[in-house]
Structure 1
Amino acid sequence: MQESYQIRPLAGAEIQTAVDWAAREGWNPGHRDAACFASADPQGFWGGFLDGQMVACISVVNYGEVFSFLGFYIVAPEHRGQGYGYALWQQALEHAGGRVVGLDGVVDQQGNYRRSGFELAYRNIRFGGVPGDRPAAPEGFDLSPLWAPTAELEALDARAFPAPRTAFWQQWLGAAGHRSFAAYNDGKLAGFGTLRLCGSGCKIGPLVAVSRPAAEAVLARLLQELPAGQEVFLDVPEPHAAAVDLARSLGLEPVFETARMYRGPAPLLDTDLIYGVTSFELG
């Protein structure tokens, strides 16, 4: 590793470069992901530079005082195996301090992550494809667009995500190309979700609901926004059998998987609420 190697937080267009690298790796980020992700923690994106050129990137995004999520860990192919990535990994993780840190890593890297103190919690499965017959929304739900976070949304989100993320929600729900809807049953929030444009097709995430019918109601409304013949991707916690079955009921097939791992005690989440993960990069 060259002595000229420098590590520092990323800013502005540099964060977009990290997202572009993720697209190059086949991770298929959304068109507006850079701005949304940066809003969660503007100091959470880091890069390693040689002679002013970025050769490695990573994100360690802090949510409040107790939780952080790691993603975008990429080293330019021509600079791999030289220690640049690991040096960046170590310094960026200092940004998390004593927080519990989560990540969604490729399964074959579990051993490396375990050596850094991460333990497997469960797998997430990415289902993808062109949906077959689109489901009709179950009766009993009222569907409304979501443009900004509400107290009800954040209360339900707190059961499925380890920390408050108001700044993220404000950016996410208002981003161009995002379509977000909430389902209400007897006037109470029963579920919510977002469909967003990606480099290839669209992703649905998050998709959070108190029951499968509520998830189906939100999903049916989101799929109305999907152009005919367009692929859609849904990232599902493998232990949640109803979510896996819902993805398969659309005719989607597994195309990718990750290992959800934590450094520190795994958060106590109600994974049965999670029908679609927000993103593998941000949790």
Structure 2
Amino acid sequence: MTEFEISGASAADMALIRDWADEEGWNPGDTDRFAFAVADPEGFLVGRLDGEPVACISAVRYGAGFGFIGFYIARPTFRGQGYGIRMWRAGMERLDGRLVGLDGVVEQQDNYRTSGFRSAWTNMRYEGVPEGAGDESGADRGAGGGVEVVDAASLPFARLAAYDRRFFPEARDAFLAAWTGLPGRTGLAALRDGRIEGLGVIRPSSGAARIGPLYAATPAVAAALIRGLAGRVPGGAVALDVPGANPAAEPLMAELGLAPTFETARMYTGPAPEADLAGLYGVTSLELG
């Protein structure tokens, strides 16, 4: 007789979940799990069948009223047996009473709708080597007069955290500190007259290096950050998940020569939270928002 149990993820489980996501073709960052654990140590659940991990989900709490679902995976040989829906219920129960968001793959979006989620916008992953990769200053790439691109680590972290709040519904300072500061990552910020007008972070992955978040006051600033970040990785190949809610973002990807490869939808259980969508050029993470 088999026994299925759901429990919190261990450090070893977090590495396993990352590998499962990679097998699904999601190309997670190599060290994302370390920042994820900081965001909400109890927000990652694993389902075990007779002690063997067979399914997972993340249900991360932010502040008092927001949550995000991710890593909803059942191993291929265990699908269709009810384990996935039990993980889903456990994750949603953990976020009960909150506005919940997720980035859903195409084949699961109808299932999410039956659970009360509604589409807010489409995310399209764009990949490739951007035209002009490596030009960090952006000055001769049309970023605009007075724009300076600097190492984000040179700025007071409180300024980066305050800027991030324009684009995310709750403070996430501990997560952001880990996300931007893990070894092997690079963050670049765009400054104009001392004000932050853009921020991008690149991290190594098994495929193209992932950029996220990418915030910018203008398409030109976004392009300068993408080129600068691409110049920090071997070969310059990058991938970023671009929100359709920003009408300037996808045309910029075409201008840079990046190609669409993967689609998801940002979905919420209620009205989309307020955010500076016009400045959002790349979501931080499909798993945590």
Please indicate the TM-score interval, normalised by the length of the shorter structure.
over 0.9
Show the counterpart of 1:237: 243
Residue 227 (1) aligns with residue 226 (2): no
Q: Which residue of 2 aligns with 1:48?
A: 47
8 Å contact from structure 1 (residues 134, 250) kept in 2: no
Q: How far did residue 222 of structure 1 move?
A: 1.2
Instruction: Quickly say closer, same or farther: Cα 1:13–1:149, change in 2 above 3 A.
Output: farther
User: SS at the partner of 1:154?
Assistant: helix
For residues 191 and 130 of structure 2, what CA distance do their matches in structure 1 show?
A: 25
What TM-score, normalized by structure 2, do the two folds share?
Answer: 0.93
Q: Which residue of 1 aligns with 2:199?
A: 192
CA distance in 1, matches of 2:225, 2:130: 15
Q: Is the contact between residue 67 and residue 162 of structure 1 (CA under 8 Å) also seen in structure 2?
A: yes
8 Å Cα contact 2:99/2:268 also seen in 1: yes
Aligned counterparts of 2:217 and 2:202: Cα–Cα separation in 1 = 19
Instruction: Report the Cα distance in structure 1 between the residues aligned to 2:65 and 2:161, rounded to whole angstroms.
Output: 17
Please state whether the residue corresponding to 2:20 is helix, strand or coil.
Answer: helix
Query: Between the two proteins, what is the percent identity of the paired residues?
Result: 47
Residue 135 of structure 1, CA deviation: 7.6
Residue in 2 that maps onto 1:268 = 274
Q: Among 186, 190, 193, which residue is 1:183 paired with?
A: 190
Match of residue 152, structure 1, among 153, 159, 170: 159
Distance 1:68 1:58 in 2: 13
Change over 3 Å in CA distance of 1:145–1:133 after alignment to 2: closer
- 1:110 & 1:276 partners in 2: Cα distance? 21
SS in 1 for 2:233: coil
- Where 2:57 maps in the other structure, the secondary structure is strand
Please tell me whether residue 210 in structure 1 is matched to residue 217 in structure 2.
yes
Q: Which moved more, 1:253-262 or 1:240-249?
A: 240-249
Q: Which amino acid aligns with 1:261?
A: M
Change (3 A) 1:135 1:33: closer
- Is the 8 Å Cα contact of residues 135 and 216 (structure 1) preserved in structure 2? no
Whether the 8 Å contact between 1:120 and 1:262 is mirrored in structure 2 is yes
Q: Deviations over 1:171-226 (max 9, x none)?
A: 11111111101111001111111011111120111001122232233223212213
Residue pair 2:157, 2:177 contacting (<8 A) in 1 also: no
Question: Is the CA contact (8 Å cut-off) linking 2:133 and 2:228 kept in structure 1?
Answer: no
Q: 1:279 to 1:149 in 2, by over 3 A?
A: farther
Separation (CA, whole Å) in 1 of partners of 2:101 and 2:218: 26
SS at match of 2:113: helix
Contact 1:29/1:199, CA 8 A, preserved across alignment: yes
Residues 1:259 and 2:258 are matched in the alignment: no
2:21 matched to which residue of 1?
22
Which sections of structure 1, spanning at least 5 residues, go unmatched? none
Q: Return the alpha-carbon distance in structure 1 between the equivalents of residues 213 and 134 of structure 2.
A: 18
Equivalent residue, structure 1, for 2:35: 36
Instruction: Label 1:176 to 1:70 Cα distance change in 2 as closer, same or farther (>3 A).
Output: same
Q: CA deviation at 1:150?
A: 2.4
Classify the secondary structure of the residue corresponding to 1:246. Answer: helix
Structure 2 residue identity aligned to 1:125: M
For the structure 1 residues 201 and 149, does the alpha-carbon distance in structure 2 shift closer, same or farther, using more than 3 Å as the test?
farther
The correspondence for 2:170, drawn from 160, 163, 177, is: 163
1:119 correspondence with 2:126: no
Paired residues of 1:55 and 1:79 also in contact (CA < 8 A)? yes
Whether the 8 Å CA contact 2:132–2:227 is kept in 1: the answer is no
CA RMSD of aligned residues (A): 1.6
Contact 1:149 1:173 in 2 (8 A): no
CA contact (8 A) 1:192 1:207 kept: yes
User: Mapping of 1:82-97 within 5 angstroms?
Assistant: 82-97=81-96
Q: For 2:133 and 2:177, how far apart are their aligned partners in 1?
A: 29
Alpha-carbon shift at residue 73 of structure 1 (Å): 0.4
CA distance in 2, matches of 1:31, 1:176: 11
